[in-house]
Amino acid sequence: MRITILTLFPTMFEGFLHTSIIKRIIDKGLVEIRIVDIRDYSLDKHRHVDDTPYGGGAGMLMKVDVLHRALAANSKENSRILLTSPKAKPFKQSDARRLSKFSDIVIVCGHYEGIDYRFEKYVDEKVSIGDYVLTGGELASMVISDAIVRLLDDGISKQSLEIESFDNNLLECPQYTRPYDFYGDKVPAVLLSGNHRDIKHYNDKMALRETLKYRPDLLENHQFTKEEIALLEEIRNEFEG
Ligand code: ADE
């Protein structure tokens, strides 16, 4: 896979590209991430990339001609072109999975004050990372790329991807490691029992409990199995007790 990020702030990506799991995935050759400075596609001698809005208003807008030149020089026929923007549907795990199937992705980082609207017709999808406004699309582009590349085959262990929060609209169950006893707070006994059926039952129940507690909205789209309906009943009885 190749991901090209068009940005006004290339230095923001240094830590992202050279640290931890993303670095490992790049070093393995599973993805190439290219950072392109949009300013290199400005034709005026001061390298301007923005201008005042027609009709008045505060702030500056990124220029359509500069953006279009940067995109044309850095995309291919089969590129999936994304534009970061708070004015879009929030990015979800299902979007990360869908986008991980493309071989070439271009992410254009928007500017907080906005871009010329005419650029949007050159974009396949606008992506927001949440209902809040950032100073620019750079952090959003890192979030989107991170969520996509960790899903690539051999990116991280298959087992880590098997049961993940948001797959199947459930949050992951709580997990524990040593020490067994932390100031009297002990790891639940069932996890040390070695009984895989009991452990699965406990973890499934805890996943449901976490989801009920923190993200009950996810359950509206969840297909409940018979076992989960029984677990819900158990949880309800515990609360009532
Ligand atoms: N740019 C500014 N805010 C953003 C957001 N929430 N998501 C994506 N891009 C943005």
d(CA 106, CA 123): 9
d(CA 235, CA 5): 46
Instruction: Per-residue pLDDT tens, the chain, 241 aa: give them.
Output: 999 999 999 999 999 999 999 999 999 999 999 999 999 999 999 999 999 999 999 999 999 999 999 999 999 999 999 999 999 999 999 999 999 999 999 999 998 789 999 999 999 999 999 999 999 999 999 999 999 999 998 877 776 776 677 878 999 999 999 999 999 999 999 999 999 999 999 999 999 999 999 999 999 989 999 999 999 999 999 988 7
| CA distances from residue 129 to 52, 78, 145, 154, 155 in whole angstroms, order as listed | 27, 24, 11, 25, 22
Q: Is the overall model pTM greater than 0.85, yes or no?
A: yes
- C-alpha R_g of the chain: 23
d(CA 41, CA 159): 43
Closest-CA residue, ligand 1 atom 5, reads: 86
**Is 133 close to ligand 1, i.e. is its CB under 6 Å away?**
yes
Ligand 1, residues 112, 115, 134, 142: which to mutate, most atoms within 8 A of Cβ? 134
**Helix, coil or strand: residue 188:** coil
**Is 49 close to ligand 1, i.e. is its CB under 6 Å away?**
no
pLDDT score of 67: 98
Contact between 84 and 110 (Cβ < 8 Å): yes
pLDDT score of 2: 98
CA of 87 to the centre of ligand 1 (A): 8
pLDDT score of 163: 64
CA of 8 to the centre of ligand 1 (A): 15
**Is 130 close to ligand 1, i.e. is its CB under 6 Å away?**
yes
pLDDT score of 162: 66
pLDDT score of 155: 77
**Is 87 close to ligand 1, i.e. is its CB under 6 Å away?**
no
**Is 141 close to ligand 1, i.e. is its CB under 6 Å away?**
no
Closest-CA residue, ligand 1 atom 8, reads: 128
pLDDT score of 35: 98
**Is 132 close to ligand 1, i.e. is its CB under 6 Å away?**
yes
CA of 60 to the centre of ligand 1 (A): 17
pLDDT score of 111: 86
CA of 193 to the centre of ligand 1 (A): 46
